Amino acid sequence: AQLADKYSTTEPDENADIVFRAEVENARNQSAKLAFLVFRQGLSTIQAVVAASDTLSRQMVKFSGSIPSESVVLVTANVKKPFEPVKSTTIQNLEVHVKKLFIVAKADAQLPMQVADAERPIPAEGQEEQQADDGKPIVTLNTRLNNRVIDLRGKHNHAIFRIKDGITLLFQEFLRSKGFMGANTPRLLGAPSEGGASVFEVSYFATKAFLAQSPQLYKQMLIAARFERVMEVGPIFRAENSNTARHLTEFTGLDMEMAFEEDYHEVVTMLEELMLFIFNGLRERYKKESDLVRSIYQVEDFKLPEAGKVPRLHFKEGIQMLRDDGVEIGDFDDLSTPDEKRLGALVLKKYGSDFYVLDQFPLAIRPFYTMPSAETQAAYDPKNPNAGYSNSYDFFMRGQEIMSGAQRIHDAAFLEKRMREHVTPVDSKSDGLRDYVNAFRYGCPPHAGGGIGLERIVMLWLGLPNVRLASLFPRDPSRLLP
Ligand code: ATP
Ligand code: AMO
């Protein structure tokens, strides 16, 4: 018998003898002569029959039927068509008849949770005591995250993290095809990259350092170094004490930055095309995974705009749509989370798309490096230096923010002025920012870019109720373990 290739996509021949290592999803003794086991492999499972015969003792049947779930076994078996046709979508159309079986690694008989618990949706907030249709209590998100190794074994978790990996691949594939270079910028910084409020401080020999809140300053310095098109996939740290379903203290940033010729909308268009490439790539390459996860959470398919027709709204238009719907909101107010969701629903109704772009955000609510719009610069009033709009944009999926971006100020003197005038002024002469500002004294082309939260895309593509489900080992204000 041959050792089966676990990663082969072709089914083994009927009647072939194969040797393989398997995870026992469950085992039960049917009678003294017959036991059934279910083996799990990635997204699928296969049933195994252990029947007493001349060459297989009743003792062996009993032993097989009482193997603790989650144990790892080495099996020699014969491939057969099942006695009854298989109804499940994850169980394969073949079964195996066991000839030999050894335990490679035995799992504890009492596990802190079952893998089956990980295949149910997490309870809705405030419904921790909820019971499933079968009357069993639903294991809470906390219990699942505390026992993440078992939890991750669930099929839909395997699907989630294959999709996440696929998004990174598609991000890089698209941008490389457009001439972007992958970069790795420092995570240990001499100064906060996005203002001081949400930065983690770490001791660094005799001094202190900060964990990167974004590669912002460095991706721009790479433009000044004339790389023109750069991208980065890397960890992002935020000391935000936000205990919400969409904030993590460590997440993965998909960042890009590019020099443009005439107008920052060249970059917005590039980013829109990037997102459509990712969405279409997920549809083509990860359909099985997406369908599996959405079926558990009973989520509808993600509605894509027609090619090239991503709804792109001026911030003013967004505010007007909200007002027409009865929301009281000022012209230059930031959108609250409920406003964002409401606007997402209005856009879906009007344009039939779960993905859209909000452009020209108010200057006052964007970071210091953001370029004020041409009209704002023309109407400049020193008494009110943060009035008006800016060349900045957010991307939304299912009414939640997945990306922020902007045209950046590429003139050192103007940048210093904006740093002084910003709603929260920043010291351009400080150690950590001096080199950044200087980069623009040596001639830097106009540029713009954006930063995407990878876990947010995963969450919203699949309709997951919590961003923690899109992180292998999530970090939040009250979780550093496991
Ligand atoms: P960005 O940092 O670009 O704004 P973001 O999506 O992380 O992106 P935040 O500014 O962190 O956005 O938060 C946006 C909204 O999230 C806020 O307007 C607020 O409504 C909500 N929010 C943030 N933290 C909390 C919290 N601890 N509790 C409830 N809501 C929160
Ligand atoms: P911003 O701070 O908006 O922009 O972050 C970019 C994107 O990162 C995601 N995100 C988060 N995801 C999970 N948990 C969090 N706590 C969290 N905070 C943010 C969101 C957000 O849209 N330098 C700019 C980007 C740029 O202009 O290029 C920046 O960091 O999806």
Query: What is the whole-number distance in angstroms between the Cα of residue 20 and the centre of ligand 2?
Result: 44
Pocket perturbation via mutation, ligand 1, pick of 393, 401, 455, 467 by most ligand atoms within 8 A of CB: 401
pLDDT tens digits along 243-255: 999 999 999 999 9
Catalytic residue check, 238: yes
pLDDT tens digits along 150-164: 999 999 999 999 999
pLDDT tens digits along 349-386: 999 999 999 999 999 999 999 999 999 999 999 999 99
Q: Residue 2's pLDDT band (boundaries 50, 70, 90)?
A: low
Catalytic residue check, 295: no
Atom of ligand 2 nearest to the CA of 395: 22
Query: What is the whole-number distance in angstroms between the Cα of residue 403 and the centre of ligand 2?
Result: 6
Q: What is the pLDDT of residue 44?
A: 77
Pocket perturbation via mutation, ligand 1, pick of 198, 213, 238, 247 by most ligand atoms within 8 A of CB: 247
Q: What is the pLDDT of residue 193?
A: 85
Is the CB–ligand 1 distance for residue 339 below 6 Å? no
Q: What is the pLDDT of residue 83?
A: 61
Alpha carbons within 13 angstroms on the beta-carbon side of residue 4 total 23
Average pLDDT (312-333) is 98
Query: Which has the minimum average pLDDT: 40-49, 273-282, 285-294, 325-334?
Result: 40-49
Query: What is the whole-number distance in angstroms between the Cα of residue 270 and the centre of ligand 2?
Result: 18
Query: What is the whole-number distance in angstroms between the Cα of residue 404 and the centre of ligand 2?
Result: 6
% of the chain surpassing 70 pLDDT: 93
Indicate which residue of 290, 353, 404, 471 is catalytic.
Answer: 404
Query: Which has the minimum average pLDDT: 120-124, 271-275, 344-348, 446-450?
Result: 120-124
Query: What is the whole-number distance in angstroms between the Cα of residue 450 and the centre of ligand 2?
Result: 9
Residue with the larger pLDDT of the pair 33 and 4: 33
Q: Residue 319's pLDDT band (boundaries 50, 70, 90)?
A: very high
Please check the confidence at residue 91 and state whether its pLDDT lies above 60. no
Please check the confidence at residue 128 and state whether its pLDDT lies above 70. no
63, 148, 394, 468 from 130: Cα distances, Å: 36, 21, 36, 20
Say what the ipTM of the complex is: 0.87
Please check the confidence at residue 31 and state whether its pLDDT lies above 70. yes
% of the chain surpassing 90 pLDDT: 84
Q: Provide the 3-class DSSP secondary structure of residue 51.
A: strand
Q: What is the pLDDT of residue 13?
A: 79
Secondary structure element (H or E) that encloses residue 270, with its range = helix 265-285
Read off φ and ψ for residue 423, nearest 5 degrees: -50, -45
Angle at the Cα of 129 from the Cα atoms of 126 and 134, rounded to 5 degrees: 130
Q: What is the pLDDT of residue 81?
A: 78
pLDDT tens digits along 8-29: 667 777 888 989 899 999 999 9
DSSP 8-state code for residue 308: T
78, 209, 230, 239, 452 from 426: Cα distances, Å: 71, 18, 26, 19, 24
Average pLDDT score over the chain: 93
pLDDT tens digits along 376-433: 999 999 999 999 999 999 999 999 999 999 999 999 999 999 999 999 999 999 888 9
Is the CB–ligand 1 distance for residue 203 below 6 Å? no
Catalytic residue check, 247: yes
Please check the confidence at residue 313 and state whether its pLDDT lies above 70. yes
Q: Residue 224's pLDDT band (boundaries 50, 70, 90)?
A: very high
Angle at the Cα of 118 from the Cα atoms of 144 and 477, rounded to 5 degrees: 30
Residue with the larger pLDDT of the pair 196 and 167: 167
Average pLDDT (446-454) is 98
Atom of ligand 2 nearest to the CA of 449: 28
Query: What is the whole-number distance in angstroms between the Cα of residue 310 and the centre of ligand 1?
Result: 24
Residue nearest to atom 18 of ligand 1 (CA): 336
Average pLDDT (118-128) is 77
Is the CB–ligand 1 distance for residue 438 below 6 Å? no
Is the CB–ligand 1 distance for residue 401 below 6 Å? yes
Burial of 200 (0-12, 13-18, 19+ CB in 10 A): middle
Q: What is the pLDDT of residue 470?
A: 98
Query: Which has the minimum average pLDDT: 184-198, 256-270, 344-358, 387-401?
Result: 184-198
Indicate which residue of 120, 156, 456, 468 is catalytic.
Answer: 456
Instruction: Return the ligand number nearest the Cα of 460.
Output: 2
Q: What is the pLDDT of residue 223?
A: 98
